[in-house]
Amino acid sequence: MTVEIRTQAIKPLRNTFGHIARRFGEKTASRYQEGTYDLQTETNRHYKPLWEPELDIYDKRRTAVQMKDWYALKDPRQFYYGSYTIARAKQQDALDRQMDFAEKRELLRSLPEAAQQTILFALVPLRHYEWGANMNQCYAASYGWGAAITQAAMLGAMDRLGNAQHLSRIGLLVDGNTGHSLAQAKDTWLTHPDWQPIRREVERSFVTRDWFELLVAQTLIADGLVYPLFYQQVDAWMARRHGVGLATVLDHMMRWQDETAKWVDAVIKTAVAESPENRALIQGWAQQWRGAFLNALSPLAEAVMGADGAAALAAVNTALGARLAKLGLEA
Amino acid sequence: MSVTAIRPGYHGDMKDTVDKFHANQILGISWDKHLMYATPMCIPVPPQMPFGALVEQVLPTLFGQHPQFAQIDWSKAEWLRSDEPFTPAFDKSLADNGIGHKAYIRFRTPGLEGLSGASI
Amino acid sequence: MSHTQQPVFIALQANNDTLPIIEAIQADNPEAVVHEYPAMVKIDAPGYLVVKRASVEERLGRPFDLQELQINLISLSGSLDETDEEFTLQWKSA
Amino acid sequence: MNAPQAPQTLNKPAKKLSLKENYALLTRGLGWEPTYQDKDDIYPKVKFEGIKIHDWDKWEDPFRLTMDAYWKYQGEKERKLYAIIDAFQQNNGQHNVSDARYLQALKVFLNGVVGLEYSAHRGFNMIGREFPGVGAAIAAQMQAVDELRHAQTQIHALSHYNKYFTGMAEFPHQFDRTWYLSIPKSFFEDAISAGPFEYIIAICFSFEYVLTNLVFMPWMSGAAYNGDMSTVSFGFSAQSDEARHMTLGIEVIKFLLEQDPANVPIVQGWIDKWFWRGYRLLTLIAAMMDYMLPKRVMAWNEAWDIYFEQNGGALFADLARYGIRMPKHWEQTVKEKEHASHQLWCTFYQFRHAAGFPVWLPTAEEMDWFSVKYPTTFDTYYRPRYEYWRELEEKGTPFVNATLPQLCQTCQWPLLFTEADDPTTICHREETYLGDKFHFCSDGCHDIFRHEPEKFVHAHLPVHQIYQGNYFNPGVDPTAPDFNPLVEALKYMGINPGVDGGDFQGHIDAVNWERWTNKPANMHAPMQTQPPAHTDDRKTA
C-alpha cells in the first residue's frame, strides 16, 4: 500500500497531549500518564450537589490534607484500567488453577475438623471485612480529588470484592459448596464476641467523612495489621499444625497485599512529605486507628492462636511501626 | 414543583444577575424568518441605550450582512418582547421600553421573509 | 413461554469468533432477521431470542461458556435472563 | 477456641454450582445490618429523594458476574483492543481513514465524550458506595470501572491521531471550558449532582438504555466504514460493556417500580427529564453522523427510528404494566429527527471561527444523499441555505456570525431548534424566576427548569461568563488597550484562534493530509493543495 510506505517517513507534529507535555516534557508518554493525568474536571462547575450543597461536586475540602498537585499521588504500579485488568486476569488464572487443585485433592476438606473450624472461624468471616474495605475504597474513589488517587482507590475496591469472593470460595471448599460455611461465618462476624470489636471499628470507618483519613485507616493501618496477622501469622500457625494445604489457597491474599502496599506507601509517603501539616494530620489518624485496631484484634488473635496470639499481634504491630517510620511517620 | 435536596434551603447561586455585567445588561435578539442566522444572538447593552440606537447602531453589526437587512422599513417592523407583541418607543431607553436584563426580543419584517422562500 | 411481539435484538462484532454464534442463533430462532453492517451484525427477532450453549458448542467444537458472549457482544435490547444453558432476550407480557 | 459447630456436610462430594448459585453465594450476604452505627449515617444519601426500598435483595443482576469472571472477560477484551490499537499505530492507520473531515469528528469525540465517561465513572463510584444493597452496589461498581475503561481506551485509541492533527491536544482543558462542550459537561454534572436514584435512572436507564445505542452502533459502524479500525474497536468494545449497563438499567427501573407504588411518579418524572436531557445531548451525535462521516451507514432520522422509536417503543410498551408511559415530548423528537442534524450543522458553520475544529459546507454529492434521506425537509429548508452560503463563499464574502448566541439555560445549546410544527421559526421559551429571566430552546428544557429552578440557576453558561469578563487565561490583563475579549475567550477555551477552527478549506489538517497521503482532504472533491489553483471543493454533479 503506497499510503503506508509514504507515512513511514512522516514525523508527528507532537508526541503527546498538551497537559501531559507540560508535566513530563514534549516526548512520548506512557498509557498510564495519558490515561490518568488531569482527567478529572477542575473548574466551571454547573450545579450544587443536591446531596451536599455546601460543597462542590468535586471538592478539595472533602479532606483536611492539602496538596499543591494531587496528581503527585501516583500509582507506582502504573495501573490504568487495561494494565490492571490484564494483570488481574492473569493472576486469577493462576489462582483458579490453585483452587481447582485444592478442590480436586480436597486439600481443605481432608484437614482435621479442628483445622476446618479454624478456617471457618478465623478466615471466612474476613469476607465481610473485605466488603467493608470495598466500601471504604469506593468512598475514597467517589469523594477524592484527582484521577490518580481515585483511580487506584477504585481499582483497589474491585480487588477487595475479589478478595471477599476468594475467601468465600475458601469457605465453599470446606463446606463442599453448600454455603453453610458462609452462613456460619456471617453469624460469627455479627455475633461472636471476639469478632465484635473489629466489626465495631469497621462500622466506625463507614461514618468517617474525611476520605484521606479513611484511606489511612483502611489501607495503611487496618490492612497493615489484618493482612499479616491472618495471612502470615495464622497461616504459618496453621501450617505448623496441619501442613501447607491452606497456604496454597491463602498465599494469594498476602501477595495481593504486598503489591497493594507499594501503592499505599507511595501515596502516604508523598502526602506526608508535602507539608508538616499533612504529616501531623496523617500521624494523628494513623495513631488513633492503629490503637483502635490493635485493641480490636487482640481478642481475636488470642481466640484463634491461643497463647501464641499476643506475640503474633505484637510482631505484626512492630512490623507496621517499621513501615510507618519509612513513610516519615512515628514508628 | 421545586427541587428535592438532602436539606431544606438548597439554592444555587444566581449566576447571571445584572450586577455581574459591568453596568451592562444582556439582551437576546432574533430576526424572525432569517435562519441564515441559525440561532438568536445574545449581546451586552447599556440599559440607557435608546431603542433607536439599538436599531440604528447595533443591529447592523449583527444582521447587516443579510441582503434584506438594508431593505427593512423600520416603521413597519413588528416587535415582540418575551414573545408578546409590543411597540417600542425609539427615542426611549431600553429600560424605559421595558427591556430589562436578560430580556428577549424578536422582530419581524413583513414582506422580507428571508431568501429563496426558505426563510434564509 | 408467553411474550409479546415487540422487537428484541442482539448485536455482535462481525469476526471469526462470532460466526458459529450467529449460525447457532439463526438455527434456534427461525424468525430472527440478520442485518449486516460494517464490522457489526445485528440480529432482530420478534419478542424473543435465545442463544443456546449447546448449539454454539456444536458449531464451535469446544466447550463454550455463555459468559464468553461478553467478548464480542456489542449491544442488545430486551429483558435478559442468563443461565448456564441459555442466554435469553424477551419482552415479558403484562 | 469457641467457634460454633460446623455443619455435618464434610466430605460428601462437592456440589456443582450453577451460575446463579455461584453468584448468589459469592455476592449476597457480603453486607450486613450494622449495629454499632446508625444505618442512616452509613448511607446518608439514599432517603432524601423519596424513593422507598423495602428489600434490596430483590435486586437482580442478570449477568451475574463475579470479580474473577469480570477480570477474565474484561482482560480478554482489553488484550484484543490494545492489540488492534498497537497495530493501527504501527501501520499509521490515521492516514487510511476516508478523508480529513472524518478526523474532525474524532475531535468532538475526544474533547466531548472522554470527560463524560470519566464523570460517569465518578458517579458510579458514588452510588457503588451509597447503595445499601450489595447486589446493587456491586453492579454500580463494575459499571464504575467500565466507565473508567471507556475514558482511557478512548484516550489511548485517539492518542495517535493527536500526534498528527490539531485540536485534540487539550481535551481536559476544553471539556471544562469550551462553549459547546458545556452541553455534555452540564448534562453529566446535572446527573452527578443529583441523588443516587436519580443518577442511576438518568444514566443507566434514560441515557444508556434508551439512547447510547445511537452513539455506539450506527456511529461506530460508520467509523468502521470510514476505515477507522482504532475507533470502531474501542467503540464496539465499550458498547459491549454498555450492553451490561443497559441490562442493569432495565433491572434498576423494574426494581424501583416493584419496590413501592410511590416510586412510580418519581421515576416517571426522572424519565421525562433525562430522556429530554439525553436527547438534546445527542444532537451532537446527529450532526456527527450526518455531516462528519464522509462515508455514511445510515442517516440520523433512520437511526432514531430504529433505536428510539422501535426499540424504545418496545421498552416502554413493556413498562406500561407498571404505569410508566413514554417520556414526555417524545413526539417532538420524531418531528425533530428530520431537522436536528441540519440545524446544528448550520450553527457550527456560522460559528466555525469559534469552534475547535474546521467546518465545511456539504458537497453536492452529500446534499443529494440528504435529499434522499430527508425527502420532506432537506430540499425545502436546508439545501437552499447551504447553496446560498456556498454562493457567498464563492463571491469571497463568506458568511460568519461574529456575535455570541443566546443559550438555553437547561441544555446549554444555542437556541438553534425550531418550533416542532414550523421549521422556519426558532423555538424560544421563557421563565421569570426570582426576578431574572431564563430562556429555553424547547418545552422539554423549560419543564426541566420549572421543576428545579433552584438547581438550574447555578448553570455555568459560557456566553454569559464571557460577558461577565470571566473567560481569559491567567496572566492576561483585561484592562489592556488591545484586550480582545472574544479572542481571549477562545484561548481560555483551549482553542487556538485562526488555527483550530474556521474553514476546512485550507485548514492545516487538510493541507497536511494531502501532503502526507496524496489523497484529497475531502473525498468528494479534488485535492485542495495541488495545481491548478482551482479550490472548488465540490464535486460537480
Range of the domain at D135: 61-340
Whether residue D454 and residue B3 make contact (CB cut-off 8 A), yes or no, is yes
| Chains A and C share 3 or more Cβ pairs within 8 Å | no
pLDDT tops 80 at residue D8 = no
Quick one: closest CA in D to B15, which residue?
D458
Least confident of A114-128, B44-58, D56-70: D56-70
Per-residue pLDDT, D11: 66
Shortest distance between the Cα of D99 and any Cα of chain C, in A, equals: 17
Strand partners, B86: B79
Q: Which of D68, D79, D84 to mutate to test the interface with A (most CBs of A within 10 A)?
A: D68
Region D508-527: mean pLDDT is 94
| Chains A and B share 3 or more Cβ pairs within 8 Å | yes
Shortest distance between the Cα of D46 and any Cα of chain B, in A, equals: 9
Closest to D216 (Cβ–Cβ): which among C7, C75, C82? C75
Quick one: closest CA in B to D428, which residue?
B83
| Domains by residue range for chain A, with CATH | 73-326 (1.10.620.20)
What are D271's three cell numbers? 424519565
- Stretches where chain A sits below pLDDT 50 are 1-7
> Over A128-175, what HEC string results?
HHHHHHHHHHHHHHHHCCCHHHHHHHHHHHHHHHHHHHHHHHHHHHHH
Whether residue A50 and residue B12 make contact (CB cut-off 8 A), yes or no, is no
Exposure on the CB side of residue A118, measured as CA atoms within 13 A: 22
**Which residues of chain D does C71 touch, with a Cβ-Cβ cutoff of 8 Å?**
73, 76-77, 80, 240
| Domains by residue range for chain B, with CATH | 40-108 (3.10.20.560)
Region D81-97: mean pLDDT is 93
Domain-wise residue ranges, chain C? 7-90
Query: Would you place residue D64 in the very low, low, confident or very high pLDDT band (cuts 50, 70, 90)?
Result: confident
pLDDT tops 50 at residue D419 = yes
Least confident of C5-9, C73-77, D301-305, D532-536: D532-536
Whether residue C74 and residue D217 make contact (CB cut-off 8 A), yes or no, is yes
Distance, CA of D414 to CA of D407 (rounded, Å): 4
Per-residue pLDDT, D13: 78
Per-residue pLDDT, C93: 58
What are D446's three cell numbers? 423549560
Helix (H) / strand (E) element for D437: namely strand D436-440
Per-residue pLDDT, D361: 97
Query: Would you place residue D2 in the very low, low, confident or very high pLDDT band (cuts 50, 70, 90)?
Result: very low
The answer to whether residue D232 is domain-embedded is: yes
Least confident of A235-239, B43-47, C68-72: C68-72
Distance, CA of D202 to CA of D209 (rounded, Å): 10
Per-residue pLDDT, B1: 64
pLDDT tops 50 at residue D3 = no
**Which residues of chain B does D387 touch, with a Cβ-Cβ cutoff of 8 Å?**
116
What are D64's three cell numbers? 451475574
Of chain D, the percentage scoring pLDDT greater than 90 comes to 79
Of chain B, the percentage scoring pLDDT greater than 70 comes to 99
Region D24-28: mean pLDDT is 89
Whether residue D76 and residue C71 make contact (CB cut-off 8 A), yes or no, is yes
Strand partners, A315: none
**Which residues of chain D does C92 touch, with a Cβ-Cβ cutoff of 8 Å?**
318
pLDDT tops 60 at residue D532 = no
Q: Which of A44, A46, A50 to mutate to test the interface with B (most CBs of B within 10 A)?
A: A50
Among B residues 4-23, those touching chain A with beta carbons less than 8 Å apart:
4-7, 10-13
Q: How much is the ipTM here? A: 0.94
Chains B & D: contacts with CB separation below 8 Å: 160
CATH of C7-90, one of 3.30.43.10, 3.90.56.10, 3.40.50.300, 3.40.50.1860: 3.90.56.10
CB neighbourhood size of B70 (10 A): 8
Of chain B, the percentage scoring pLDDT greater than 90 comes to 96
Cα separations (Å) of D34 from A190, A204, D127?
A: 9, 10, 19
Shortest distance between the Cα of D469 and any Cα of chain A, in A, equals: 14
Shortest distance between the Cα of D221 and any Cα of chain B, in A, equals: 30
Whether residue D221 and residue C40 make contact (CB cut-off 8 A), yes or no, is yes
Least confident of C4-8, D117-121, D174-178: C4-8
pLDDT tops 80 at residue D105 = yes
Instruction: Give which of C27, C46, C45, C20 is closest to C35, Cα–Cα.
Output: C45
Strand partners, C33: C44
Helices D508-517 and D102-130 sit at what angle, rounded to 10 degrees?
110
Chain A touching partners, 3 or more CB pairs below 8 A: B, D
Region D226-236: mean pLDDT is 89
Quick one: closest CA in D to B11, which residue?
D454
The answer to whether residue D389 is domain-embedded is: no
Give the CATH number for residue D168: 1.10.620.20
Q: Does A280 touch chain D (CB under 8 A)?
A: no
What is chain D's alpha carbon radius of gyration, rounded to the nearest angstrom?
25
Per-residue pLDDT, D250: 87
Instruction: Give which of A298, A306, A250 is closest to A95, Cα–Cα.
Output: A250
- Does residue D532 have a cis peptide bond before it, meaning omega lies within 30 degrees of 0? yes
Q: Look at chain D and report how many structural domains it folds into.
A: 1
- Give the dihedral of Cα atoms A134, A138, A140, A143; nearest 10 deg: -160
Q: Give the model confidence (pLDDT) of A174-213 as tens digits.
A: 999 999 999 999 999 999 999 999 999 999 999 999 999 9
Instruction: Give which of D401, D419, D412, D405 is closest to D350, Cα–Cα.
Output: D401
Per-residue pLDDT, B115: 92
D464 in Cβ contact with B26 (< 8 Å): yes
